[in-house]
Chain A
Amino acid sequence: QVQLVQSGAEMKKPGSLVKVSCKSSGGAFNNHFINWVRQAPGRGLEWMGAILPFSGITKDAHNFGGRVSITTDESAGTVYMELRSLRRDDAAVYYCARDLRQSTFAYGFDQWGQGTLVTVSS
């Protein structure tokens, strides 16, 4: 059973960037899209983008004005999400989530990381 393990909580200043990692404990991501979803305190879910690790194909959410980069280090079995020009309203729990079917985007996210809390404060 694949488990997604994310990096720890981060505290950042407005205007800076944060980079969160997501590692597959069960080995490679096996041709599944890995998505990033965030949840501000007391709010709903917001999709940020996705990557298919073995190919590097990315899907970008239109809402973030190019502030998000999703990359992969397949040799390390790790996907990264970088969010730049942080604002106070970027404070949220950030999740990585694996797509259900290989090479199929957004069919359903069946495996989720534990979440990474990002705090933005001066």
Chain B
Amino acid sequence: EVVLTQSPGTLSLSPGERATLSCRASQSVNSNYLAWYQQKPGQAPRLLIYGTSNRATGVPDRFSGSGSGTDFTLTISRVEREDCAVFYCQQCSSAQVTFGQGTKLEIK
């Protein structure tokens, strides 16, 4: 099973700052099957990024994804108060889906 480790555990930023969230895999991941989600309290997760770098429908362009192999990144160019949430990465390998443990983004 591919283990995804996200860092940092918590990120505290002011509005307008840049957020860089990391997702590291225990073995190489097919970049077509790397996705990112945002989850706000009491809500279902929302797909942000699929295929490493493709924004899902309706996702603002301040969200971007990059990476390859074992290292992937979600970047929020200028955080806004509404971005306060937990972010998860997800991968699929050998028909098994795993999620990272999440990064909590706090807005000061």
The residues of A with any CB-CB pair to B shorter than 8 Å are: 35, 37, 44-47, 50, 59, 61-62, 95, 97, 100, 105-110, 112-115
Categorize the interface residue count of chain B.
20 to 34
Residue B45, interface by CB 8 Å: yes
Q: How far is the CB of A25 from chain B (nearest CB, A)?
A: 15
A44 and B97 contacting across the interface, CB-CB below 8 Å = no
What is the bound-complex CA distance between A62 and B95, given in angstroms?
10
B100→A61 contact, CB < 8 A: no
Contact check, B101 vs A47: say whether CB atoms are below 8 A apart: no
Q: Which residues of chain B have C-beta atoms less than 8 A from A46's C-beta?
A: 99
Bound-complex Cα distance A109 to B35 (A): 9
Query: From B35, which residue of chain A is reached at the shortest CB distance?
Result: A108
B51/A108 in contact, CB under 8 A: yes
A108 to chain B, nearest CB (A): 3
Contact A47 B47 (CB under 8 A): no
Residues of B within 8 A of A35 (CB): 97
Chain B residue contacts of A109, Cβ below 8 A? 35, 37, 45, 47, 90
Interfacial residues, chain B to chain A (CB-CB below 8 A): 1, 32-33, 35, 37, 39, 44-47, 49-51, 56-57, 88, 90, 92, 95-102
- Can you list 7 pairs linking A and B with CB atoms under 8 Å apart? A61-B97, A105-B95, A107-B32, A108-B35, A108-B51, A110-B56, A113-B44
- Among A105, A108, A112, max chain B CB count under 10 A is at A108
Decide if B44 touches A114 in the complex (CB within 8 Å).
Answer: yes
Q: Which of B57, B92, B99 contacts A44 (CB 8 A)?
A: B99
- Chain A residue numbers with a CB within 8 Å of B92 are 105-106
- Whether B50 contacts A100 by the Cβ 8 Å rule is yes
Query: Cβ of A108: which chain B residues have Cβ within 8 Å of it?
Result: 35, 47, 49-51, 56, 90
| Contacts A100-B50, A110-B57; A62 near B99 (Cβ below 8 A) | no
How long is the Cα–Cα vector from A97 to B45 in the complex, in angstroms? 9
